[in-house]
Structure 1
Amino acid sequence: MNTIKDFSLQLALITTAIFTFQIFIAGRLERNNYVNIILSVLLGLSILLCMSFPTYISANVRLDIRIVPLLLGTLYGGLRTGLFLSAIIILYRFYLGIDLGLYSTILTLLISMPVIVFFQKNFTKAKKRKRINIAVILCIYYCLVGITVVSVLKGISFKVLQVQFIYILITTVAVWLFTSLNETINEVLRKNQQLQADVKEAEIAFLRSQIKPHFLYNALSSIAALCIDEPHKAGALTIDLSQYLRSSFDFKQLDSLTTIEKELELLNAYINIEKTRFGTRLVVEYDVDATLLDIRIPPLILQPLVENAIRHGLMSSLRGGTVQISVNQKEDAVVSFAVVDNGYGMSEQKREEILKPGMNKKGVGLGNINQRLKLLYGTCICIESAEGKGTRVFFNIPVQPVKQIGD
């Protein structure tokens, strides 16, 4: 009974370490150095605790289930984690004294670890059921190697053999249990991430679907207004619109990215449409860093902002005004976008309202763009405005393109 109790204590210590790790990486399926360091530290601590509370078979024979954290750490953390944990075992065993136990520990690791590391690559590529089988087989292999080494160096009695059988049974069941639980948790996390990605994709698709019909409605209204009095301008406007649509719908997927250069081409086509309608009342100025034209951004992210500046900021006044569009590198890894107008401006209450999704039922609104930025980058639109002076709408995004949704 004492043997079972001692092994149960060791299992409890390992369980605490492993589930602490699972809580830490919840939602982070990617493996990086930081995560592997945490894994190594927690499993290393569990190895030390297991070796500190062993099961004593006799004065010279002691057993612990260090193989469980050692095996799990090597299979999930890789070669470096396995070497780190092996070093902990050897150093701690050396601290306990130079005896046959130290030699048997070193020999067992020297024989077992190359095989475990070799199968680690297969374990990484395997699916859930095969991973569990690999872990269990490697655990039995390690235990048999350990028993063989101890038998050669120390000899073995029937009593020791009985305890060794219990030891193999407990370690095998523990490895099977922990590997199964770990794989189940990772599977749940993967499904949850995929579900979140699908929700994001559907929401972004919906937001983009709002923008294009809204823009087309306004563009066609402008063409219709010119058809009777200025048919030549209406024809030129139709050509601009066709060029815009050719580029605008050139996306293979709803979550595709475009370049700043293409976005500016679309924006220029839209501005030509508006200039044809509003004439000299509309002035547009650009401040664009030419080195940023190849940076990838979400499509149709600027046009709605410029449209709001023109229609609600400038054209609400007979005198019109100026829209300034700037794209510049703010920091090493950040691009800053800004749309500034010297139009009517807005109150603080109005600024808060227009960023709320669905507030502008007749159009797209800034809330739409704000939602897309939050979903893709975790950033948001900022608005600075004063009534009678104008409005500045700006946001920042990373230089590197966002990872495609669902990848």
Structure 2
Amino acid sequence: MSIIKDFLLQLTFMVIPIFIYYTFITERVKNDKNRKVIMTMLWGLSILACMSFPVVFGENARLELRIIPLLLGTLYGGVFSGILLTGLIILYRLSFGIDIGFYNTVLVLVLSLPVILYFQKSFASSKKGLRVKMAMSLSFYYCLIGITWFGTLRGFSIENLIVPIIHLIFAVAVTFCFTLLIETIREIHQLRLEMQNTEKLKVIGELTSVFAHEIRNPMQATRGFLQLLNEPDLPDKKKEYIQISLEELDRANAIINDFLSFGKPSIQDNERIDVGFQIHRVVNIIQSYTLNRNVEIKTEIRDNCWIYANPQKLNQSLINILKNAIESMPHGGIVWIICSSTDDGYIKINIKDQGIGMTKKQIDMLGSPYYSLKESGTGLGMMVSFQIIRSFKGKIQVNSEKDIGTEFIILLPQIT
């Protein structure tokens, strides 16, 4: 009975950091670096607790699950977290004295940590199912190394290996459970954010249908009278004022158009279209916009890039993204547009610029209502673009670095 209590205590030491992090930290701490630091601290406390209260099977038979917080802390926290947690394990184990157990700990960590760090980047970019499998495999590898060194140092006998084998089975099972738990919590958290965003978009759609047309009618009348007042014999100053007024009315009208594009019900008039042909059309349309900005557009389009979509809406989405790319380069540069197919059945459109770039926080906010990096922007154009791509069952990924540039990766289901 005492052994069962010790096992449950070990599990509690790992549940508490997960509970604290996803209940309190993710909502209150917005900076990603600060969250990783806090995550590392929580897993560090979990390691200390696991090592301080091991499961005792008898004389010199101890079992503790420090591998789980080390593994999860490294996979979710990154390379820096993994190195810090490894150093913590070695230092704390050193305080117990230098013996065979200490040498075993150091050797296992030296052989297993590089492998965990090697797979960390792949883990971060993988989907839920693959993440769980990778975590279980790395846990198995760590414990297998431990068994091998333990047997080498103390001898390969049933009496010596029974505890490490139990440790391996238990560690892999617990790794599976806790990785699945974390992934499920992350999914729920993401769904909640999407629901909050959906509520905002719903409100915008309702407001659009009520106000947009009523605002546009007096604006059109105002614009018409301003054009009538713009006579040839007016002073230059008054002509300038009228021109500014007309431009501002046009800008307001463009914002209303974005509202209407977003708020009106989507009509399913999709058809089989060639993405390459549509990209050529978009480039021709926007070419005049690049002339005064010293921007060059280069394209690389493969054959057979067929999708099922609405060509006008796809063009609207691409134009919005291209305009942002052009405007992000105040001193000019090159925008690359590449269209190709992927092995997993998608048409991939890469739009890459040499602009000012964005931080991770800015990337996360893209597509949100009223969020724009431009002084006179509303964020509605990018919001509409994201909505259009999603309506085609596609995905948008954004990679960016400050002062280097931004790359939009649009993935759309391919048809034959």
1:96 aligned counterpart, secondary structure: coil
Q: Is the 8 A contact 1:54 1:62 kept in 2?
A: yes
Q: Is the 8 A contact 1:71 1:139 kept in 2?
A: yes
2:115 aligned counterpart, secondary structure: helix
1:164 corresponds to which residue?
Answer: 164
Q: Which range moved further: 67-76 or 147-156? A: 147-156
1:138 corresponds to which residue?
Answer: 138
1:56 corresponds to which residue?
Answer: 56
1:160-239 counterparts in 2 under 5 A?
160-208=160-208, 210-219=210-219, 233=229
2:112 corresponds to which residue?
Answer: 112
1:9 corresponds to which residue?
Answer: 9
2:147 corresponds to which residue?
Answer: 147
1:126 aligned counterpart, secondary structure: coil
Q: Is the 8 A contact 1:73 1:81 kept in 2?
A: yes
Query: Kindly tell me: are residues 190 and 98 of structure 1, through their superposed partners in 2, closer, same or farther at Cα, counting changes over 3 Å?
Result: same
Q: Note the C-alpha offset of 1:222.
A: 6.2
- Paired residue type of 2:151: S
Query: Kindly tell me: are residues 28 and 198 of structure 1, through their superposed partners in 2, closer, same or farther at Cα, counting changes over 3 Å?
Result: farther
1:80 corresponds to which residue?
Answer: 80
Q: Is the 8 A contact 2:146 2:164 kept in 1?
A: no
Q: Is the 8 A contact 2:135 2:175 kept in 1?
A: yes
2:280 corresponds to which residue?
Answer: none
Structure 1 distance, partners of 2:66, 2:260, is 48
Larger radius of gyration: 1
**Per-residue deviation, residues 35-83 of structure 1 (Å, max 9, x unmatched):** 0111111111111011011123443342210001000000000111111
Structure 2 distance, partners of 1:209, 1:29, is 37
Q: Note the C-alpha offset of 1:243.
A: 5.7
- Paired residue type of 1:97: G
> Paired residues, what number?
269
1:100 corresponds to which residue?
Answer: 100
Q: Note the C-alpha offset of 1:376.
A: 4.4
Q: Note the C-alpha offset of 1:196.
A: 1.8
2:119 aligned counterpart, secondary structure: helix
User: Identical aligned pairs, as a percentage?
Assistant: 36
- Paired residue type of 2:67: I
Q: Which range moved further: 206-215 or 147-156? A: 206-215
Query: Kindly tell me: are residues 62 and 201 of structure 1, through their superposed partners in 2, closer, same or farther at Cα, counting changes over 3 Å?
Result: same
Q: Is the 8 A contact 2:63 2:163 kept in 1?
A: no
- Paired residue type of 2:139: C
Query: Kindly tell me: are residues 100 and 222 of structure 1, through their superposed partners in 2, closer, same or farther at Cα, counting changes over 3 Å?
Result: closer
TM-score by length of 1: 0.57
1:46 corresponds to which residue?
Answer: 46
Query: Structure 1: which 5+ residue stretches go unaligned?
Result: 257-293, 296-373, 378-396
1:24 corresponds to which residue?
Answer: 24
Q: Note the C-alpha offset of 1:169.
A: 1.8
Q: Is the 8 A contact 2:216 2:253 kept in 1?
A: no
Structure 1 distance, partners of 2:21, 2:136, is 21
Q: Is the 8 A contact 2:219 2:249 kept in 1?
A: no
Q: Note the C-alpha offset of 1:239.
A: 9.6
Q: Note the C-alpha offset of 1:162.
A: 2.6
Q: Is the 8 A contact 1:29 1:190 kept in 2?
A: no
**Per-residue deviation, residues 337-384 of structure 1 (Å, max 9, x unmatched):** xxxxxxxxxxxxxxxxxxxxxxxxxxxxxxxxxxxxx9748xxxxxxx
Q: Note the C-alpha offset of 1:24.
A: 2.2
Q: Note the C-alpha offset of 1:161.
A: 2.5
Structure 1 distance, partners of 2:125, 2:205, is 33
- Paired residue type of 1:154: R
Structure 2 distance, partners of 1:196, 1:22, is 18
Query: Structure 2: which 5+ residue stretches go unaligned?
Result: 233-238, 262-326, 329-367, 387-395, 397-416
